[in-house]
Amino acid sequence: MSKRDSNRLRIFAGRHSKSLASRVCEHLSIPLGDAKTHVFPDGEFMVKVEEDVRGRDCFVILSTCEPVNDNLVELLVFLDCLRRASARRVTVVTPYYGYGRQDRKDEGRVPITAKLVANLIAATRCSRVVAIDLHAAQIQGFFDLPMDHLSATPVFLNFFEANRELTRDLCVLSPDVGNVKVAEKMANLLGGDLAIINKRRLSGSEVVTQNLIGTVEGKTVLLYDDMISTAGTVCEAAALCMQRGAKRVIAAATHGVLCGPAIDRLVRSPIERLIVTDTIPRRESWAALGDRLTVLSVAGLLGDAINNIHHNKSVSALFRVTAGSKR
C-alpha cells in the first residue's frame, strides 16, 4: 500500500478486538489507529480518537461477542465519535455479529433482535458493514446500507490443504439440517462424503441427537458449522459418530463462542481436534483444551477485504471458492 493510501486509510479497534485488528494492520503494513475507550465508574463508555480523521476512510473492527452488550454499545459510541470527527467514510467490521441467532419469529411474542441491532448500527449513519459467516444469510437484508458478507472458507481450506492427513477417509457431517448445503459444499471441496445429524433442541444449552443419516464407519468425521456456542450439538454428534464406528472426530467452526458449559463438554468429548478462527478473542478458559485447539487467523481475509473496499474494488472477487452460508 502506498504512503498516500496509508495516510487516507485508518483502522481502529474496540477494546476486545485489538489483537485481531493489529494483525489486520500488520497484513496491510499500516499502524493501528490511535483511539481510547474510557469506562466510567457507572459503566458508561466514552471513545476518544487521538488523531485527525477528517476526510479519511475509517474502519472499526469490533466483534459483538461476550460481553455482547458492552461491545455493541462501544461500537455504536465509536461510530458516533468518528462521524462527529468528520471522517469521510466509516465502515463497521464486525467479524462476529452478535444477536445473529435471533433472526426470525419462530413463535409468538418474540423479537427479531438481529434486525434491531442492524437498525441501531444504521442509525449511526455509517457507510458500510462487513461481517464473516453470519448465522443466517438473510441478515444481510436487515441492513439498509451496503453489506459485505465474507466467508472464512478459504482460511479453512488453506489449513486442511496444509494438513492433508486430517482429510483422509473424510466424511463431513452437518450438525443440523439448516447447515446441509454448507456441509455438502465443504465435502465437495475437500473430497469427502456427507452425513447429516437430525437433532432436537430442548433449550438454549441442551440438544438431543436423534438420528444420523449417512455412513461414518471407519471415517474421519469433520463437524463443520458457523459457530460453536455451548458445544451441546457438536459433543452429542461426536459421541454418536464414535458409537457408529467413526475413526476420529474433528470439529471446525468460524466462531468459537464457547460459552457456558462448552469448555467442560469439549474436554470430556471424543473430539480429537477443534479448529476455530480468531473472530472471537481467545479466553483463558480455552487453555483447558490444550493442543486439541487450533486457532486460525482471519486477519489476511479481512485485510484484503478492507483494501478492496478502500480502493472501491470488488469484494466478492476474493471469495470465488466458498462453502456458502446457512439458509
- DSSP per position, 68-125: HHHHHHHHHHHHHHHHHTT-SEEEEEESS-TTTT--S-SSTT---HHHHHHHHHHHTT
Ranges 4-13, 24-33, 185-194, 264-273: which has the least confidence: 4-13
Judged against a pLDDT cut of 60, whether residue 4 lies above it is answered with: no
Amino acid at 266: L
CA distance 217 to 222: 13
pLDDT at 312 (0 to 100): 95
Judged against a pLDDT cut of 80, whether residue 246 lies above it is answered with: yes
Q: What is the DSSP letter of 268?
A: H
Judged against a pLDDT cut of 60, whether residue 270 lies above it is answered with: yes
C-alpha cell at 168: 483422509
User: How much is the average pLDDT of 59-75?
Assistant: 98
Q: What are phi and psi of 110, to 5 degrees?
A: -130, 155
Looking at 100-192, which runs of residues are DSSP E strands?
128-132, 147-150, 170-174
pLDDT at 321 (0 to 100): 62
Active-site annotation holds for 36: no
Higher pLDDT, 1 or 146: 146
User: How much is the average pLDDT of 276-305?
Assistant: 97
Cα–chain-centroid distance for residue 319?
16
Judged against a pLDDT cut of 90, whether residue 230 lies above it is answered with: yes
pLDDT at 315 (0 to 100): 94
Check if the beta carbon of residue 13 is closer than 8 Å to that of residue 62. yes
Digit-coded pLDDT (tens) for 171-195: 999 987 778 889 999 999 999 999 9
Judged against a pLDDT cut of 80, whether residue 265 lies above it is answered with: yes
Judged against a pLDDT cut of 80, whether residue 75 lies above it is answered with: yes
Judged against a pLDDT cut of 60, whether residue 262 lies above it is answered with: yes
C-alpha cell at 56: 479519511
Helices 18-28, 299-310: axis angle to 10 degrees equals: 60
User: How much is the average pLDDT of 79-108?
Assistant: 96
Domains of the chain: 3-152+299-318 (3.40.50.2020), 154-296 (3.40.50.2020)
Computed over its alpha carbons, how large is the radius of gyration of the chain? Answer: 20
Judged against a pLDDT cut of 60, whether residue 61 lies above it is answered with: yes
User: How much is the average pLDDT of 220-246?
Assistant: 94
Model confidence, pTM? 0.93
Check if the beta carbon of residue 99 is closer than 8 Å to that of residue 113. yes
Higher pLDDT, 125 or 5: 125
State the catalytic residue, choosing from 115, 185, 199, 326: 199
pLDDT at 319 (0 to 100): 79
Judged against a pLDDT cut of 80, whether residue 326 lies above it is answered with: no
Judged against a pLDDT cut of 70, whether residue 207 lies above it is answered with: no
Judged against a pLDDT cut of 90, whether residue 77 lies above it is answered with: yes
In angstroms, the first-to-last Cα distance of the chain is: 37
CA distance 145 to 168: 43
Q: Is 211 helix (H, G, I), strand (E, B) or coil?
A: strand
In Å, what is the CA distance from 164 to each residue of 92, 159, 323? 36, 9, 19
Judged against a pLDDT cut of 70, whether residue 248 lies above it is answered with: yes
pLDDT at 175 (0 to 100): 83
Mean pLDDT of the chain: 93
pLDDT at 307 (0 to 100): 97
Q: Is 295 helix (H, G, I), strand (E, B) or coil?
A: strand
Q: What are phi and psi of 197, to 5 degrees?
A: -100, 135
Name the strand (E) or helix (H) holding 227.
Answer: strand 220-228
Q: Is 192 helix (H, G, I), strand (E, B) or coil?
A: coil
Judged against a pLDDT cut of 70, whether residue 95 lies above it is answered with: yes
Name the strand (E) or helix (H) holding 26.
Answer: helix 18-28
Closest CA to 59 of 87, 98, 36, 96: 87
Check if the beta carbon of residue 66 is closer than 8 Å to that of residue 99. no
Closest CA to 310 of 16, 28, 15, 20: 28
Judged against a pLDDT cut of 80, whether residue 245 lies above it is answered with: yes
Judged against a pLDDT cut of 70, whether residue 327 lies above it is answered with: no
Query: Which pLDDT band holds residue 210 (cuts at 50, 70, 90)?
Result: low
What percent of the chain stands above pLDDT 70?
92
Judged against a pLDDT cut of 80, whether residue 322 lies above it is answered with: no
